[in-house]
Every structure is written in C-alpha cells, then in structure tokens.
C-alpha cells in the first residue's frame, strides 16, 4: 500500500505538493491526473524515492520511501536515460543485473510483443521504439508497485495503442499496483480502476472510475472539464 502523511514538497519557494495525505488501494491501475505543473510527476518521484519530501512521510508497503525503495518499485521516467551505444539486449541485460526480481524470460516475451529485436542499437531506435523499450524494462520485473510517468507522451497513436495493450497483457493485477500519470486521458481511461486528481499541489479527489460513471454519468474527461474549469 502507498501512504502519504502530511506530505509537502517545495522546489525553492514553489510548492509542488501541499500537506497531502492519502492512501491508495492495491491491485489496481491508478491514474494520476491533473494539469501541467499540478504535482503529478512529483508525486511519482516521491513514491520512487527519487525526491525527498520537504516535510511529512511516505510509506510504500510499510517502508519509508528512499532510494532503496527501488527494490519494490519499478519506475518508468518520462525521459529516457539509455546509453546510445547499448543494444536493446545490452539494456535488458543491464536491468537484469540491477534488479533481483527482473525476469529475463518475461522481458523477451514483452520484447517480441513490442516487435523489438535484442540486436538493435538504441541510437538507431525511433522515439516510439524507445518508448516501447522503456515499457519492456519496467514491466519485466516481478515487483509489487509499478510507476509510469507519462508513458504515452509524444508518441504516435499506434505506439500508444501497443503500449496500452502491453500494459494489459503483462501486468499481474492480482499482485501488482500500477500508477500512471498521463495527459492522454481518453486512451488510458478504459484501463483505469481508480483516479487520483491533483490540482495546485493538492489531491482533490480519489475515486473509483466505474463509480464515477455510475454516480455522475460522466467519464474522467467530462469530470475534469467540470471541476478544473470551475477554478
């Protein structure tokens, strides 16, 4: 379980998150939504232990989030930090060497699903294929928590579709919890169980998406237009 207790995060004088408290259910696909600069990426970085809260506490399965939390958290960053001279296979082997729970057989399965070849050089991959490779590396771990920061951003529709299908195919929802930040709400909406809406550094709503549809007769996008534009 992921728990935030009175968490604030400042960058200089700017507040990215303001005294946020919440806990998230397990075994769900959770979408973190909000406008640019609302604190979505900061939230993921805090869970991944890649940023420290200015105050408050973050617990991931009962452990305080720090760099060592990467043992139970798989994190896909918005940027890619691949070595261009690596091949796809080198990159998979490298991840295998870093994480005890990395499953090379699963990585191979996802590679072939994504139509990637181990021998391809990373510097020759298209942006879409680099996006796909990130998915392979993130999902090939047997890890309870998967964080994905804008996995679809800047990719063309076919790549986005293959990434969403890959997600459905390769997550083990009985054992894994997935958090996704995204602007591509329409595409992600059918695979979300829960949404966490962030506005100006505060969590304004945590809601089961099917319940939202039942109660409000609205999808996430309609709901957002209503709530975010009311100011």
Residue 23 within binding range of another protein, rule CB under 8 A:
no
Stretch that binds another protein, among 12-20, 53-61, 188-196, 199-207 (CB under 8 A): 188-196
**Spatial CA neighbour of 109 closest among 101, 118, 100:** 118
Least separation in angstroms between CB 222 and another protein:
6
Tell me how far CA of residue 162 lies from CA of 14, 82, 111, 136, in angstroms.
Answer: 37, 21, 12, 12
Stretch that binds another protein, among 42-50, 70-78, 150-158, 167-175 (CB under 8 A): 167-175
User: Cβ atoms within 10 A of the Cβ of 191, count?
Assistant: 16
Residue 1 within binding range of another protein, rule CB under 8 A:
no
Least separation in angstroms between CB 186 and another protein:
7
Least separation in angstroms between CB 184 and another protein:
13
Rounded distance between C-alpha atoms, residue 182 and residue 153, angstroms: 7
Host H or E run for residue 19 = strand 14-24
Residue 191 within binding range of another protein, rule CB under 8 A:
yes
Tally of residues, the chain: 231
Closest CB to another protein among 72 and 191? 191
Residue 220 within binding range of another protein, rule CB under 8 A:
yes
Residue 168 within binding range of another protein, rule CB under 8 A:
yes
Closest CB to another protein among 46 and 188? 188
Rounded distance between C-alpha atoms, residue 146 and residue 106, angstroms: 15
Cβ(130)–Cβ(77) below 8 Å: no
Cβ(185)–Cβ(218) below 8 Å: no
Binding site for another protein (CB under 8 A): 27-29, 161, 164-165, 168-169, 173, 186, 189-193, 210, 213-214, 217-222
């Amino acid at each position: 379980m992921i728990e935030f207790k009175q968490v604030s995060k400042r960058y200089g004088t700017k507040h990215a998150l303001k005294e946020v408290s919440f806990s998230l259910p397990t075994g769900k696909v959770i979408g973190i939504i909000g406008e640019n600069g609302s604190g979505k990426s900061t939230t993921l970085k805090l869970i991944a232990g890649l940023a420290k809260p200015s105050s408050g506490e973050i617990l991931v399965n009962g452990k305080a989030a720090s760099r060592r939390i990467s043992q139970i958290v798989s994190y896909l960053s918005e940027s890619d930090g691949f070595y261009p001279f690596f091949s796809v296979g080198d990159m998979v082997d490298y991840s295998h060497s870093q994480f005890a729970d990395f499953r090379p057989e699963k990585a191979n399965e996802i590679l072939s699903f994504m139509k990637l070849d181990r021998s391809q050089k990373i510097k020759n991959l298209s942006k879409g294929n680099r996006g796909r490779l990130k998915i392979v590396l993130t999902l090939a771990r047997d890890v309870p928590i998967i964080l994905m920061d804008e996995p679809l951003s800047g990719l063309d529709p076919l790549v986005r579709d293959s990434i969403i299908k890959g997600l459905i195919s390769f997550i083990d929802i009985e054992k894994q919890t997935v958090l996704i930040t995204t602007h591509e709400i329409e595409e992600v909406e059918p695979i979300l169980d829960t949404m966490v809406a962030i506005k100006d550094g505060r969590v304004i709503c945590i809601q089961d998406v099917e319940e939202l549809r039942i109660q409000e007769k609205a999808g996430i996008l309609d709901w957002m237009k209503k709530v975010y534009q009311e100011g």
